[in-house]
Structure 1
Amino acid sequence: MSFFSISQSIAQVTTQEIKGQVTDEHGITIAGATVQLSYHLQKTITDDKGLYAFHQVPPGSYIVKVIMQGFEVQEKAVNITTGKKAQISFIMNTSSNRLNEVVIKGYKAVKGMGYLNDVHDGVIYSGKKTEVILLDSLNANTAQNNPRQVLGRIPGANYSETEGSGFPSNGIGFRGLNPTQSVETNIRQNGYNVAADIFGYPETYYLPPLEAVERIEVTRGAASLQFGPQFGGVINYIIKKGSTDKALEINIQQTGGSFSLFNSFISAGGQVGKWNYYSFMQYKSILGWRPNSDVQQLSGFAGVNYQANAHLKFGLEYSILRNRIHMPGGFDDERFNLNSQASYRARNWLNSPWNILTGKIDYQFSPTAKLSVKSAYQFSSRNLVWKNEDGGPGTPDSISTVTLQPVNREVQREIFHANTTEARLTADYGNGEIKNTLAAGVRLFYGKMKREGGGLGTTGSDFDLTILDPHYGYNLDFTTTNIAPFVENIFHIGKRLSVTPGFRYEYLRSTVNGYIDNDITQTSHSSKDRSFALFGVGTQFITTSKTNIYANISQAYRPVTYDQLTPFGSATKIAPNLKDADGYNVDLGWRGSVKNYLNFDVSAFYLRYNNRIGVTEQFDGSGTPYLYRTNIANSIHKGVETYIEFNITKALFPGSTIGEFSFYNSFSFIDAKYVSGDFKGKSVEYAPQTINRFGATYTYKVFSTTFLISNTAKSYGDATNTVRSDDPALGLIPAYQVLDWSSSLRLGTYNFKFGINNLADARYFTVRTNEYPGPGIIPAIGRSFYVGFGAKF
């Protein structure tokens, strides 16, 4: 044998290679998919049989990534040793944004909303009602986190629009649940909790700037088995990642607008070897639509991920919020109708410094099994100095007849410390072509909160939390311990039908220590233990390759929260022995797409809510009214939700060169009524019967513009369905219509954004509150405009 032949034989033995095949969920081969070998910069394209191959691969650990338009990106780890040939094949899942056609020029011709795949980021979504919104596909006022323009596509989404009036973020609620501070909805960022305390104080004060968000994932009430409370499901904000093609990419966005709005956003990210990083900083300030409603806010984030080897990945993230909010106070009905842009308070302030530190570990046991662990530690607070209650919302701050100075303000402080650790294991198993999926995990939570209120503050008008008397009106320490294992499993029955049963076990221990001064000093030293099981089952039937029918029933609960146990005014009372709420959600729907021009989701829902806690108006022995918090009754929420998006140009004029025109309609009908107790037959608070939004978009090359009409029916501020009351926290919330216009222009790496919010200058409100930032009616913002400029380097 010649020397050449011997050398050739040795080369054949020692050459390393990676090869495989790419198919879809139904076993159909995918041609033209991009296959990338990470850390080695090799790329190839699958042939007409879906096959690919990398030859002469140096020994080492790699990530093989497959990218194909219309499908989710897939990654698998592989370790190559000398002389080894690896067979790595992929089954591609249809992408959650498959309805958004990506044009090479950089804009999306269809600005649609998709839904999550059956299994996504270690969570089972098969049979559940989900929505996914891609931020880059929208014309929207992201600088001010305008909820109508961003989350308005989600049917039935109702908002407490109070930005600049005391709440740092706009709250959201679904299906007639309370939208204030998103207390009925589990708010997450990158899969971990960001609310104050998911059990004791589930208000949301921190939200990431939408300029930094890649997508928003929404799961309705069936999320309770995987995530626990609340009845309203989960909203998960997914932060962008650093560019995988550059060591450094910088994005700058500057926005200005009405009422001295200034928003500055800058981000930096990239890939350096096995390290990927992304960070941003946002500064926002505005004088406000009303006097005494100025806001200053700083948000920041830093995240880094390290791919240690083919199996192990580490991540660390840190989020901050620093703000100072001037609260102009609330109105009674008469003064709102007289001048909704006025202010009767000049000395009320709030800030909510927020800190969230999160560690993440992902371990790929095999191509079919993965463990993910996230542990988030939150150390945050909420602080108020205000004088709102004396004399009602229409009365200016009172002046002392002795000192001739304003009376002392009240100081209120909350301090939160909480750790949430969630571990999730996902594994595919089965024989032959049909694979089943198991998702199991556990959540460990410990939170503590110090709540102090009624403190004697200064007589000044600036933001000053100084206490002149160390004895607060109430001083309470709360703790919550939670252990919750959970499991779900997708069982495939043939290629079209799947059934997903699930189970969650909750153990809760709550303690409270401290005192409340309310005419007499009441001390509290108590603890409460409870445990219960939640069950659910979902099913999904594939009707065509792009449509499916889904159904789900899942139990849910909501424990009594810390704020519900604390008086919100000197003339209020709380019922003894408040009970936790429980119930269940049911969904039945049909969703999907038709070719590249129609996207739809039509569904019906049924929500049972037992032991609902609310506020009613009562009268003492002398006939004086007061507010009373108690378990009001059981309620049933039922209705339909529809979403349709239709690209007229693609459907009727394919190949048109005059641009594209599309529209969407998001509609919900909600019948939310009490079915027991004194208020049987009454409408549930904050449950408008219809919410209808219609948006039309025209796109031509690098220019895109959207016009949005939002209509929300009337609702009520309390369970008695009071239309008019001397107490402005009670009464009708009238129906309203809001018009928004937004546009964008992209020129290479530069972009321009501009638009007008509330085009017709509608005067409306969405909130009646019995405490901050009121009490009373808190108006929504009138007409305003914005202009933005951005660049990417």
Structure 2
Amino acid sequence: MNTALLNYLKAKASVIFLFSFIIQFPLSAQTLRHQIYGQVTGENDVSLSSVTVQLDTQTITTDKNGFFAFDQIQNGSHLIKLSREGYLPQQMTITTNGTELSRLNFQLKATARQLTEVIVKGYKAINGMGYLNDVHNGVIYAGKKTEVILLDSLDANTAQNNPRQVLGRIPGANYSETEGGGFPSNGIGFRGLNPTQSVETNTRQNGYNVVADIYGYPEAYYLPPLEAVESIEVTRGASSLQFGPQFGGVINYITKQGVKDKPLEINVQETGGSFGLFNAFTSAGGTIGKFNYYGFIQYKNIQGWRPNSEVQQVSGFAGVNYQANAKLKVGLEYSILRNRIHMPGGFDDMQFNFDSRASYRARNWLRSPWNIFAATAEYKFTDHTTLYVKSSVLLSARDLVWRNEDGGPGELDSISPITNNYVNREVQRERFTNWTTEVRLLHTYQLFKQENILAAGIRVFTGKMKRQGGGEGTTGSDFDLTLLDPRYEYDLDFTTLNIAPFLENMFKLNDRFSITPGIRYEYINSSAKGYVTDGNDVLRSDRSKNRYIALFGVGLQYKTTTTTNIYGNISQAYRPVTYDQLTPFATTAVIDPNMKDADGYNADLGWRGSVKNYLNFDISSFLLQYNNRIGIIQKTDAQGNDYAFRTNVANSVHRGLETYLELNISRIFFPGMGFGRISIFNSFSFVDARYTTGEFKDKYVEYAPRTINRAGITYAYKPFSTTFLISNTAKSYGDATNTLNSPDPAVGLIPAYRVLDWSGKLTLYRYNFKFGVNNLADKRYFTIRTNEYPGPGIIPAIGRSFYFGIGAKF
């Protein structure tokens, strides 16, 4: 990224905010306002778009997910009316008092059915997490374990995408916190699966893939800034039938949309903090006629907790939706990321224990430019049949120049007294081009006097990846990808073609019980062409392989009350070994050329729901069978030297319990009191993940802490709210041997750790102030040992840091 451009964007964001703050700040005290929002659904909890919602004299329509929102509502009594062709109208009166959010959920009934009463559910939002409706955006979720996080309801450090404060509410979420290594894309894993770069999790934005290659290179480099995210949807392992065969489920970041009731609204947020953090975020959106648009630009600069760990990043997004008529809605989106990351390297155990803030590498750099184009369409043939289409094109890259990893972090990167220069660095470059289209058809039909739902579709993916590595770089310390020898040690071209039809049907046996069987068929063709240098030999490759995989599953759901249900599911999962995984790449590990594909299944059984407006809960157990699991084991060569070996370690079984409880104490014990709102939550998981075959039988799976427990308390009074969070993560291991200490820093114990976070928010009219402390007790810990970048070795998490942000909406 050009330095002048970064400075210009930084200065421009500051000027925009300062100007807007001066001209918009009221000269006199303003009356505190209220916000009302909610969702409208039809029968079977199908989200209803284009519903006319009238609040007094204001009129808006619901978005594609059935959501609506009214801002800056004066306190008092208000009449809300809802109407849509083909449905019975509804209305209700609500009285607002104070600045607390109110959420109103409506369920409209079709006019073809004569009803004696109208069901209206209205309640104030409980801060935290819920779950998806039975049907949502063309996908059946009945019987599946899902979570939805509404970001505006949280006190969280969204400027730094702090995973504990946002995703920490999801039971069992484990993170690879790599920001201390200069690498800001923290990974996530569930149920004892590898969290590194979210390789086991299908990562999406607005329903389409954002990773480089869903099979060949499923790492997540681009994520939307959390300041631009409205909600985060997580579906566990049973997602394999609707989204792909991955073991770890799906995480989907839903970006905000333009406001519905005016042509333009601008939001500005600037955040500063420890270690040179400066984050400038500006968004604009609105509705003009049939067009709704939203866009943002973010500039972030971090000097880093450790030396040589600065990050400069610019990300942006532009999206527009056109509601052509009552049947057709189309949209276009573009996402962009430009960054430059300085990586301070990894530690061995002695180096970490001596000084976890040191850096023994000053010449390691990375950039990952990302471009994503997406087109969407939604066509309603009838009130019972809707077609959804999402098509995306991804153009991205990963460029790396670093001190050769040979010798690991213990090998000093110093100037040679003989040459008076550093050793030459290594240059590696990857290029990714892929195209994905998913078509879904949702159809509701009558069977035995019950409404059943059919969800069918197909995904077509084609991807190309060019991998070049081992090139001889310069002896300098700056970001320089210059090659001194034009020939790389390896130069490979990979292609992937995937065609996957899928089908699920929700059969309602009665008003309470449903069963949803499903099938997915995967065709995968992968190829590899190019060469790899092995010593003095050049090995050429020209291979191709076809796979044909059928996956089956079934989900069950029983509604115990109108707001609670028991759910269960079982579905098969699959993870192919692609040729690029067989190619040594930026790693100190030796690769087994005979690795096999992994397969297995996921199963859940749980009870979830809410009790009135003060309790939200989800209690479940799970079982994950993972055959031919790929991992790292420690071996010894003929000379007696230890080395890491990546191979099919063995089969593993992951069993566990996940619970989420959120309780609004003030609504239970002090209803109607005016001293504020107090709520507490607890997110807990127990995972027993062990190998069940081979030489490591009964050993713990790597990166699988047995317990992860997070507890928080939130206090809110009118425009002020604050949250205190305690996160406890048990120990885990870096390899399948469960080695405690090793000369290889990629192998060994990952000790248990406890982290404290505190955050707060104050909203005054159209202005907000956000503040907090991450890692309050300055705990020195790490979550990952890696045999590749940003290491190799131990990557420490950052210590105590402060932040303060100020924002305005106009």
TM-score past 0.5 threshold? yes
What residue is the counterpart of 1:541 in the other structure?
558
Q: Cα gap change, 1:776/1:52 in structure 2, threshold over 3 Å: closer, same or farther?
A: closer
Are the aligned partners of 1:186 and 1:229 in contact in 2 as well (CA < 8 Å)?
no
In the TM superposition, residue 518 of structure 1 has moved relative to its aligned partner by: 2.5
Distance in 2 (CA, whole Å) between partners of 1:620 and 1:755 is 50
Are the aligned partners of 1:372 and 1:424 in contact in 2 as well (CA < 8 Å)?
yes
Q: Cα gap change, 1:280/1:455 in structure 2, threshold over 3 Å: closer, same or farther?
A: same
Query: Which amino acid in the other structure matches residue 459 of structure 2?
Result: R
Alignment equivalent of 1:509, drawn from 525, 542, 556: 525
Q: Cα gap change, 1:337/1:320 in structure 2, threshold over 3 Å: closer, same or farther?
A: same
Query: Which amino acid in the other structure matches residue 718 of structure 1?
Result: D
What residue is the counterpart of 2:439 in the other structure?
423
Query: Which amino acid in the other structure matches residue 764 of structure 1?
Result: Y
Alignment deviations for residues 375-404 of structure 1 (CA, whole Å, 9 cap, x no partner)? 000000001000042443134313234421
Query: Which amino acid in the other structure matches residue 548 of structure 1?
Result: N
Alignment equivalent of 1:560, drawn from 573, 577, 580: 577
Distance in 1 (CA, whole Å) between partners of 2:83 and 2:512 is 31
Alignment equivalent of 1:221, drawn from 237, 245, 248: 237
In the TM superposition, residue 40 of structure 1 has moved relative to its aligned partner by: 11
Q: Cα gap change, 1:396/1:621 in structure 2, threshold over 3 Å: closer, same or farther?
A: closer
Alignment equivalent of 2:272, drawn from 242, 250, 256: 256
What residue is the counterpart of 2:607 in the other structure?
590
- The DSSP-based 3-state class of the residue aligned with 2:758 is strand
Query: Which amino acid in the other structure matches residue 710 of structure 1?
Result: S
2:194 aligned with 1:192, yes or no?
no
2:762 aligned with 1:745, yes or no?
yes
Q: Cα gap change, 1:36/1:700 in structure 2, threshold over 3 Å: closer, same or farther?
A: closer
Query: Which amino acid in the other structure matches residue 529 of structure 1?
Result: N
What residue is the counterpart of 1:57 in the other structure?
none
- The DSSP-based 3-state class of the residue aligned with 2:185 is coil
- The DSSP-based 3-state class of the residue aligned with 1:430 is strand
In the TM superposition, residue 308 of structure 1 has moved relative to its aligned partner by: 1.3
Distance in 1 (CA, whole Å) between partners of 2:118 and 2:204 is 24
Alignment of 1:31-42 (within 5 A): 35=53, 41=59
- The DSSP-based 3-state class of the residue aligned with 1:362 is strand
Structure 2, unmatched stretches of 5+, are 1-39, 46-50, 63-67, 69-79, 93-101
CA RMSD in angstroms comes to 2.8
Alignment equivalent of 1:412, drawn from 412, 418, 428: 428
Are the aligned partners of 1:274 and 1:307 in contact in 2 as well (CA < 8 Å)?
yes
Distance in 1 (CA, whole Å) between partners of 2:479 and 2:113 is 61
Are the aligned partners of 2:210 and 2:220 in contact in 1 as well (CA < 8 Å)?
yes
Distance in 1 (CA, whole Å) between partners of 2:780 and 2:733 is 17
2:754 aligned with 1:758, yes or no?
no
Are the aligned partners of 1:24 and 1:91 in contact in 2 as well (CA < 8 Å)?
no
TM-score calculated relative to the size of structure 2: 0.87
Alignment deviations for residues 229-279 of structure 1 (CA, whole Å, 9 cap, x no partner)? 320100000000001101000000000000111000000000000011000
Alignment of 1:227-376 (within 5 A): 227-376=243-392
Q: Cα gap change, 1:389/1:312 in structure 2, threshold over 3 Å: closer, same or farther?
A: same
Q: Cα gap change, 1:554/1:592 in structure 2, threshold over 3 Å: closer, same or farther?
A: same
What residue is the counterpart of 2:480 in the other structure?
464
In the TM superposition, residue 787 of structure 1 has moved relative to its aligned partner by: 0.2
Are the aligned partners of 1:167 and 1:205 in contact in 2 as well (CA < 8 Å)?
no
2:596 aligned with 1:579, yes or no?
yes
- The DSSP-based 3-state class of the residue aligned with 1:729 is coil
Are the aligned partners of 1:23 and 1:90 in contact in 2 as well (CA < 8 Å)?
no
Are the aligned partners of 2:53 and 2:59 in contact in 1 as well (CA < 8 Å)?
no
Alignment equivalent of 1:134, drawn from 126, 133, 150: 150
Q: Cα gap change, 1:465/1:63 in structure 2, threshold over 3 Å: closer, same or farther?
A: farther
In the TM superposition, residue 51 of structure 1 has moved relative to its aligned partner by: 9.6
Q: Cα gap change, 1:112/1:495 in structure 2, threshold over 3 Å: closer, same or farther?
A: same
What residue is the counterpart of 2:805 in the other structure?
788
Q: Cα gap change, 1:42/1:467 in structure 2, threshold over 3 Å: closer, same or farther?
A: closer
Q: Cα gap change, 1:475/1:742 in structure 2, threshold over 3 Å: closer, same or farther?
A: same
Distance in 1 (CA, whole Å) between partners of 2:296 and 2:692 is 48
In the TM superposition, residue 280 of structure 1 has moved relative to its aligned partner by: 0.3
Distance in 2 (CA, whole Å) between partners of 1:748 and 1:357 is 36
Alignment deviations for residues 151-192 of structure 1 (CA, whole Å, 9 cap, x no partner)? 000000000011252433110000000000000000000000
Distance in 2 (CA, whole Å) between partners of 1:668 and 1:517 is 46
Query: Which amino acid in the other structure matches residue 663 of structure 2?
Result: F
Are the aligned partners of 1:201 and 1:562 in contact in 2 as well (CA < 8 Å)?
no
- The DSSP-based 3-state class of the residue aligned with 2:152 is helix
2:470 aligned with 1:454, yes or no?
yes
Are the aligned partners of 1:324 and 1:351 in contact in 2 as well (CA < 8 Å)?
yes
Alignment of 1:646-685 (within 5 A): 646-685=663-702
Alignment equivalent of 1:396, drawn from 412, 419, 426: 412
Q: Cα gap change, 1:341/1:489 in structure 2, threshold over 3 Å: closer, same or farther?
A: same
Are the aligned partners of 1:70 and 1:94 in contact in 2 as well (CA < 8 Å)?
no
What residue is the counterpart of 2:217 in the other structure?
201
In the TM superposition, residue 678 of structure 1 has moved relative to its aligned partner by: 1.3
Q: Cα gap change, 1:91/1:118 in structure 2, threshold over 3 Å: closer, same or farther?
A: farther
What residue is the counterpart of 1:15 in the other structure?
none
Of stretches 659-668 and 307-316 in structure 1, the one that deviates more from structure 2 is 307-316
Distance in 1 (CA, whole Å) between partners of 2:264 and 2:115 is 30
Alignment equivalent of 1:489, drawn from 488, 499, 505: 505
Are the aligned partners of 2:143 and 2:567 in contact in 1 as well (CA < 8 Å)?
yes
In the TM superposition, residue 333 of structure 1 has moved relative to its aligned partner by: 0.3
2:128 aligned with 1:121, yes or no?
no
Of stretches 390-399 and 532-541 in structure 1, the one that deviates more from structure 2 is 390-399
What residue is the counterpart of 1:625 in the other structure?
642
Alignment equivalent of 1:692, drawn from 699, 709, 721: 709
Are the aligned partners of 2:587 and 2:789 in contact in 1 as well (CA < 8 Å)?
no
Query: Which amino acid in the other structure matches residue 256 of structure 1?
Result: G
Alignment deviations for residues 194-248 of structure 1 (CA, whole Å, 9 cap, x no partner)? 0111111000000000000000000000000000132010000000000110100
- The DSSP-based 3-state class of the residue aligned with 1:393 is helix
Q: Cα gap change, 1:466/1:72 in structure 2, threshold over 3 Å: closer, same or farther?
A: farther
Distance in 2 (CA, whole Å) between partners of 1:643 and 1:728 is 35
Structure 1, unmatched stretches of 5+, are 1-21, 28-32, 55-60, 78-85, 103-107
2:399 aligned with 1:383, yes or no?
yes
Identity %: 68
What residue is the counterpart of 2:651 in the other structure?
634
Are the aligned partners of 1:23 and 1:91 in contact in 2 as well (CA < 8 Å)?
no
TM-score calculated relative to the size of structure 1: 0.89
Distance in 2 (CA, whole Å) between partners of 1:308 and 1:273 is 10
Distance in 2 (CA, whole Å) between partners of 1:335 and 1:144 is 27
Distance in 2 (CA, whole Å) between partners of 1:616 and 1:198 is 25
Distance in 2 (CA, whole Å) between partners of 1:606 and 1:471 is 48
Alignment deviations for residues 657-697 of structure 1 (CA, whole Å, 9 cap, x no partner)? 11111100000000000000111111000000000000000
In the TM superposition, residue 285 of structure 1 has moved relative to its aligned partner by: 0.2
Q: Which protein shows a greater Rg?
A: 1
2:794 aligned with 1:777, yes or no?
yes
In the TM superposition, residue 434 of structure 1 has moved relative to its aligned partner by: 2.3
Are the aligned partners of 1:71 and 1:93 in contact in 2 as well (CA < 8 Å)?
no
Are the aligned partners of 2:494 and 2:580 in contact in 1 as well (CA < 8 Å)?
no
Are the aligned partners of 1:72 and 1:93 in contact in 2 as well (CA < 8 Å)?
no
Alignment deviations for residues 603-638 of structure 1 (CA, whole Å, 9 cap, x no partner)? 000000001111212222222222221111000000
Distance in 2 (CA, whole Å) between partners of 1:43 and 1:540 is 31
Q: Cα gap change, 1:472/1:592 in structure 2, threshold over 3 Å: closer, same or farther?
A: same
Are the aligned partners of 1:35 and 1:65 in contact in 2 as well (CA < 8 Å)?
no
- The DSSP-based 3-state class of the residue aligned with 2:387 is strand
Of stretches 387-396 and 671-680 in structure 1, the one that deviates more from structure 2 is 387-396
